[in-house]
């Protein structure tokens, strides 16, 4: 009998000679030994099995050869794994699945547990479809499974740490265009996992004012201009509020040109980074208002009382023909100047009041004083078609924005005329300062991060609005603050 005929025959083939069968089995045992796998044949009609190598002995696992093999082998499977492995085994025997495979832990003869991967297939069935004989292989995957479990445990520890820090991980395939996040982002934004598609979950919820800055930071990290990506920005929560986040990442892979193929990073929820500045500004406003009221109602009234008393003394001295009348009149004049200066200081410290006709009157007075002080015409225009629902604090924020923008224009723009305007349009109020000076340079627009401009931005944000800088069509600078009328 030639080799090709022998190769077509399986172990146990009754048509093969004993010599051929022994030869085939020896070759088969050598092959499975070299592959490091266990080869098993199960006679399902007798519930007995036969192994074609010493694989079980090498792993110190009971081969359970002989009768009741399936039952005895199953008794050694880990209790947590036996149900799923048994379900898969029965499904294949019933012909519901093309093959059987399972990962499970088996108890070795020392009492320890070892991970196995098993795959098998029924190779012979009775006329009624009942499984009669099954052949399968077993592989030792303990080392690989330990590595997987270690990785899972590491990831779980990382997730717990990040969740404790109110943070989560993300992974960006640059070609895909949208990062994949861990479940924290859904929790942070108050949405159920999968409620928004991945292409919308993050990008659609970044605050419009923050989006250009975030995109630029991401672009620089992708292009390699910066090693790290970092940005602070707001994300819209499901309830409509804005949550501040600190986002950091770096490139894991770059192509030959240095462009990132993949970025990974983490995002954590943070308190409003501007809350301290906001509190400082509010405290400053309240303190200025208090000092202004004290000047007006305290020192101003005291000086007025002194002036009245001096007038009475002056009248008495005139009756007596005293030469001190001239000195008294001079002192009265000085006190009147002090009264006017006190009132001016009080108006500057507490500029907006409903008793003085509110914001529009305060802006008109600001334009008048600026004209007198700088000698440059400042025009105030009011196009207010509805009542401004601002309290004194909110109106003071708008006034201070106008004051800072106007002072900058008069001092630095080389302008010969400035226009200050207040207008309402479609549920929004716009405050604008326009001059005919040299305008903003490109560098100034990019680097406009001085303390005065930062405070102006904070004030605008406190009103729920935004601040914009630009140049007019005919030259000159424009500073515009827009905020909703409901602020």
Range of the domain at 334: 274-350
Higher pLDDT, 355 or 34: 34
pLDDT computed for residue 355 by the predictor: 47
Domain boundary among 247, 273, 299: 273
**Looking at residue 104, what is its pLDDT?**
94
The more confidently predicted of residues 209 and 299 is 209
Q: Read off the tokens for 204.
A: 């659609």
Q: Which residue has the higher pLDDT, 25 or 177?
A: 177
Q: Is residue 298, in this structure, part of any structural domain at all?
A: yes
**How many folded domains does the chain comprise?**
4
The phi, psi pair for 198, rounded to 5°, reads: -60, -30
Q: What is the CATH number of the domain that holds 56?
A: 3.30.450.20
Q: At how many degrees (to 10) do helices 358-374 and 392-412 cross?
A: 20
Q: Residue 12: which pLDDT band, with cuts at 50, 70 and 90?
A: very low
With pLDDT > 90 as the criterion, what percentage of the chain qualifies? 23
Residue 54 has pLDDT above 80, yes or no: yes
pLDDT of 433 > 90? The answer is yes
Given this model, what pLDDT does residue 23 score?
A: 59
Average pLDDT of the residues of the chain = 79
Residues 428 and 385 in one domain: yes
Confirm if 257 and 271 have CB atoms less than 8 A apart: no
Q: Using the predicted structure, report yes or no on whether residue 197 has a pLDDT greater than 80.
A: no
Q: Residue 88 — pLDDT band, cuts 50, 70, 90?
A: very high
Length of the chain: 487
Alpha-helical runs (H) found in 109-210: 142-164, 184-189, 198-201
- pLDDT of 352 reads 63
* Residue 65 and residue 88 in one domain: yes
Residue 133 belongs to some domain of the structure: yes
Question: Is there a domain that residue 31 lies in?
Answer: no
Q: What is the mean pLDDT of residues 1-6?
A: 35
pTM for the predicted model, two decimal places: 0.39
| Band of pLDDT at residue 29, cut at 50, 70 and 90 | low
Tell me whether residue 399 is in a domain.
Answer: yes
Per-residue model confidence (pLDDT) at position 73: 94
Query: In this structure, are 476 and 382 located in the same domain?
Result: yes
153 in a structural domain: yes
Q: Do residues 106 and 123 both lie within one domain?
A: yes
Whether 215 and 312 map to the same domain: the answer is no
Q: Are residues 480 and 365 in the same domain?
A: yes
Q: Per DSSP, what are the bridge partners of residue 39?
A: 137
Q: Are 415 and 433 in contact (CB under 8 A)?
A: no
Q: Within a domain: residue 5?
A: no
| % of the chain exceeding 70 in pLDDT | 75
Asked, for residue 6, whether it belongs to a domain, the answer is no
Residue 1 inside a domain? The answer is no
Boundary (domain end) residue, out of 117, 140, 163:
140
**473 and 394, same structural domain?**
yes
Q: How confident is the model at residue 70 (pLDDT cuts 50, 70, 90)?
A: very high
- Are the C-beta atoms of 117 and 101 separated by less than 8 Å? yes
With tokens 């547990």, the residue in question is 113
* Res. 424 pLDDT band, cuts 50 70 90: confident
More confident position, 13 or 291: 291
Looking at the structure, tell me whether residues 252 and 156 fall in a common domain.
yes
pLDDT at 283: 62
Q: Which of 418, 420, 431 is nearest to 390 (CA)?
A: 431
Considering just the CA atoms, what is the radius of gyration of the chain in Å? 42
Note the pLDDT of residue 354. Answer: 45
Whole-Å CA distances, 467 to 387, 452, 486: 22, 13, 17
Residues 320 and 368 in one domain: no
353 in the Ramachandran plot: left (φ > 0), alpha (ψ -120 to 50) or beta? Answer: beta
Regarding whether 473 and 363 lie in a shared domain, the answer is yes
Please give the pLDDT value at position 442.
60
- Looking at 140, 159, 192, which one is the last position of a domain? 140
Spatial contact of 164 and 268, defined as CB atoms under 8 Å apart: no
Lowest mean pLDDT among 15-24, 92-101, 132-141: 15-24
Clarify whether residues 208 and 298 are in a common domain: no
CATH number at residue 371: 3.30.565.10
Q: Which pLDDT value is given to residue 360? A: 85
pLDDT at 344: 61
The predicted structure's pLDDT at residue 335: 77
Asked whether residue 336 falls in the same domain as residue 393, the answer is no
Distance between CA atoms of 86 and 100, rounded to whole angstroms? 10
Mean pLDDT over 31-53 rounds to 80
| 290 confidence band (pLDDT: 50, 70, 90) | low
66-76 average pLDDT score: 91
Distance CA 429, CA 468 (A): 14
């Amino acid at each position: 009998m030639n080799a090709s005929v022998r190769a077509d025959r399986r172990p146990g083939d009754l048509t093969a000679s004993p010599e051929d069968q022994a030869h085939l089995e020896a070759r088969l045992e050598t092959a499975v030994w070299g592959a490091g796998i266990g080869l098993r044949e199960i006679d399902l009609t007798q519930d007995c099995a036969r192994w074609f190598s010493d694989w079980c002995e090498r792993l110190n696992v009971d081969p359970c050869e002989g009768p009741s093999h399936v039952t005895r082998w199953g008794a050694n499977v880990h209790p947590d794994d036996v149900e799923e492995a048994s379900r898969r085994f029965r499904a294949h025997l019933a012909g519901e699945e093309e093959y059987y495979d399972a990962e499970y832990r088996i108890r070795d003869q020392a009492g320890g547990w070892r991970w196995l991967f098993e795959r098998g297939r029924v190779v012979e069935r009775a006329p009624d479809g009942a499984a009669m004989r099954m052949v399968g292989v077993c592989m030792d995957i303990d080392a690989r499974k330990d590595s997987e479990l270690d990785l899972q445990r590491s990831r779980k520890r990382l997730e717990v740490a990040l969740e404790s820090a109110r943070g989560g991980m993300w992974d960006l395939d640059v070609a895909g265009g949208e990062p994949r996040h861990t479940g924290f982002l859904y929790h942070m934004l108050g949405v159920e996992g999968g409620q928004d598609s991945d292409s919308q979950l993050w990008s659609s919820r970044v605050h419009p004012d923050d989006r250009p800055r975030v995109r630029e930071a991401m672009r620089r990290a992708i292009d390699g201009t910066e090693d790290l990506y970092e940005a602070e920005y707001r994300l819209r929560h499901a309830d409509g509020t804005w949550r501040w986040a600190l986002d950091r990442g770096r490139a894991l892979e770059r192509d030959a040109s240095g462009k990132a193929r993949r970025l990974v990073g983490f995002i954590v929820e943070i308190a409003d980074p501007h809350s301290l500045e906001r509190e400082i500004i509010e405290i400053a406003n309240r303190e200025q208002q208090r000092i202004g009221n004290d000047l007006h109602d305290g020192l101003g009234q005291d000086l007025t009382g002194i002036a009245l008393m001096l007038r009475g003394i002056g009248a008495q001295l005139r009756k007596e023909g005293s030469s001190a009348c001239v000195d008294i009149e001079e002192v009265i004049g000085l006190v009147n100047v002090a009264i006017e200066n006190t009132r001016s200081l009080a108006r500057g410290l507490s500029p907006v009041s409903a008793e003085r006709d509110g914001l529009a009157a305060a802006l008109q007075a600001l334009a008048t004083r600026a004209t007198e002080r700088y000698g440059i015409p400042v025009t105030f225009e009011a196009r207010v078609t509805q009542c401004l629902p601002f309290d004194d604090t909110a109106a003071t924020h708008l006034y201070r924005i106008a004051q800072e923008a106007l002072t900058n224009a008069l001092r630095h723009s080389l302008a010969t005329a400035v226009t200050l305007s207040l207008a309402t349009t479609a549920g929004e109020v716009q405050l604008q300062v326009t001059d005919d000076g040299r305008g903003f340079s490109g560098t100034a627009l990019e680097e406009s991060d001085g303390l005065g401009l930062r405070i102006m931005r904070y004030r605008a944000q406190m009103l729920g609005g935004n601040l914009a800088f630009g140049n007019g069509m005919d030259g000159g600078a424009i500073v515009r603050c827009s905020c909703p009328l409901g602020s």
